[in-house]
Amino acid sequence: MTHLVHPPGAAAAAPIGFDDFLKVDIRIGTVVAAEIYAEARKPSLKLQIDFGPGVGVRKSCAQIAVNYAPDELLGRQVAAVVNFPPRQVGKAMSEVLTLGFPDQAGEVVLVMPAGPVPNGARLF
């Protein structure tokens, strides 16, 4: 899924209730396949991420090719929203939103745990 760009230093979003936060299902998964998405308008990769038995393997199109090569992501754990509806991204279908923050150049740096956690673990 395409990421939304919010400039560093932008004001915080409007407050939400804790129940609203709980509606967003953010999980950890392991990248099991990655390839360059050559047809994308911005430098992107197509990922397959294993979120474990409860969620399974899901696809993601992520604009991360400036900072990451496909082979360096294999076996790495990443955070993603797993309960958004699938979204058509060019000719590919993206089933989860892989999460990241913009670096100084505005390119995505992925959210990854500091140590290994079980696939499918939910952010709280």
- Tell me the C-alpha distance between 19 and 9, whole Å: 26
Q: Which of 4-18, 41-55, 85-99 has the lowest mean pLDDT?
A: 4-18
For 34-54, the pLDDT digits (tens) are 999 999 888 999 999 999 999
Q: What is the pTM of this model?
A: 0.90
Question: What's the whole-number mean pLDDT along residues 72-80?
Answer: 98
Q: How far apart are the first and last CA of the chain?
A: 22
CA of residue 14 relative to chain centroid, distance: 23
Question: 3-state DSSP call for residue 63?
Answer: coil
Q: Which residue has the tokens 């950890």?
A: 28
CATH of domain 21-110: 2.40.50.140
Domain ranges of the chain: 21-110
Q: What is the mean pLDDT of the chain?
A: 93
Record the tokens describing residue 44, joined without a space: 């992107």
Q: Left (φ > 0), alpha (ψ -120 to 50) or beta: where does 99 sit? A: beta
- In this prediction, residue 2 carries a pLDDT of 46
Question: 3-state DSSP call for residue 72?
Answer: helix
